[in-house]
């Protein structure tokens, strides 16, 4: 164990920039969850077990509306489906971990966790399990604590629309979409989803614009495909 301690602390150092970037969004999640009627316990439970920012925001957006539970679960699943690609790639990078270590490593795998691990491996740096935990655990602890903190303070605000807090979620999603713009097929995917979503919202009604709009973008991406040897961009 003593041999792996320097690796752990090397991971913690690498976690600092991630924590700075993530910190405001952990609090924002807690506060918006409270605005949408979640208790601090529920918000904290969601951060601790789902542990995927964008999808948690999608969850609270849909909790606010009168939507069947399975559609909410399905929408969260859809947003998190990208993990399948990360997992296939990172599984090779952490191939030397034991089964149990892999099971835990994947539970803590987020966009920045994946990106940092792959960057290190690409530079030829070692990515042992102790380092991985050092990178992942502080971010996880921060994220879970912030959900509780944000929800406790968020529940003190009584009229979200008066402060335009209701519009923070769509803006956050838009920011995420713009953040993905380096990905393959981004513009055609986003254009197709936007048009299909607006049409579905008008002709079919909410919440079907989410599934139908999303489906349109995915179909367009599948038709275009990717170049062989294309690199996965987070």
The phi and psi torsions of 38 (rounded to 5 degrees) equal: -80, 150
**Residue among 83, 121, 145, 153 that touches another protein (CB under 8 A):** 83
**Residue among 18, 31, 38, 147 that touches another protein (CB under 8 A):** 38
The reply on whether position 75 binds another protein by CB under 8 A is yes
Nearer to another protein, 123 or 227 (CB): 227
Nearer to another protein, 10 or 75 (CB): 75
**Residue among 34, 54, 130, 136 that touches another protein (CB under 8 A):** 54
The reply on whether position 91 binds another protein by CB under 8 A is yes
How far is the CA of 181 from the CAs of 131, 177, 218, 225, in angstroms?
30, 7, 15, 16
The reply on whether position 72 binds another protein by CB under 8 A is yes
The reply on whether position 73 binds another protein by CB under 8 A is yes
* Total of chain residues touching another protein, rule CB under 8 A: 95
With the CA atoms of 48, 103, 86 and 94 taken in that order, what torsion angle do they form, in degrees rounded to the nearest 10? 130
Nearer to another protein, 2 or 92 (CB): 92
Closest separation in Å from C-beta 8 to another protein: 22
Helices 168-179/53-64 angle, 10° precision:
150
How far apart, in whole angstroms, are the C-alpha atoms of residue 157 and residue 216? Answer: 38
């Amino acid at each position: 164990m003593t041999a792996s301690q320097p690796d752990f602390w090397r991971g913690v150092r690498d976690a600092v920039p991630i924590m700075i970037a993530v910190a405001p969004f952990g609090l924002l999640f807690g506060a918006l969850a409270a605005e949408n009627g979640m208790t601090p316990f529920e918000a904290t439970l969601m951060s601790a077990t789902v542990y995927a920012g964008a999808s948690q925001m999608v969850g609270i957006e849909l909790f606010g509306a009168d939507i069947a539970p399975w559609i909410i679960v399905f929408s969260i699943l859809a947003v998190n489906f990208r993990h399948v690609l990360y997992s296939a790639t990172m599984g090779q990078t952490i191939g030397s971990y034991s089964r149990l270590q892999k099971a835990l490593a994947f539970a803590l795998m987020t966009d920045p966790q994946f990106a940092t691990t792959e960057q290190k491996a690409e530079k030829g740096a070692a990515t042992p399990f102790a380092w991985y935990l050092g990178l992942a655990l502080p971010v996880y602890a921060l994220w879970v604590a912030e959900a509780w903190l944000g929800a406790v303070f968020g529940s003190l605000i009584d009229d979200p629309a008066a402060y335009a807090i209701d519009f923070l979620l769509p803006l956050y999603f838009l920011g995420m979409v713009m953040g993905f713009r380096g990905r393959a097929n981004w513009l055609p995917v986003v254009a197709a989803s936007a048009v299909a979503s607006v049409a579905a919202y008008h002709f079919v009604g909410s919440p079907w614009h989410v599934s139908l709009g999303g489906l349109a973008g995915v179909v367009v991406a599948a038709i275009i495909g990717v170049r062989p040897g294309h690199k996965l961009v987070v």
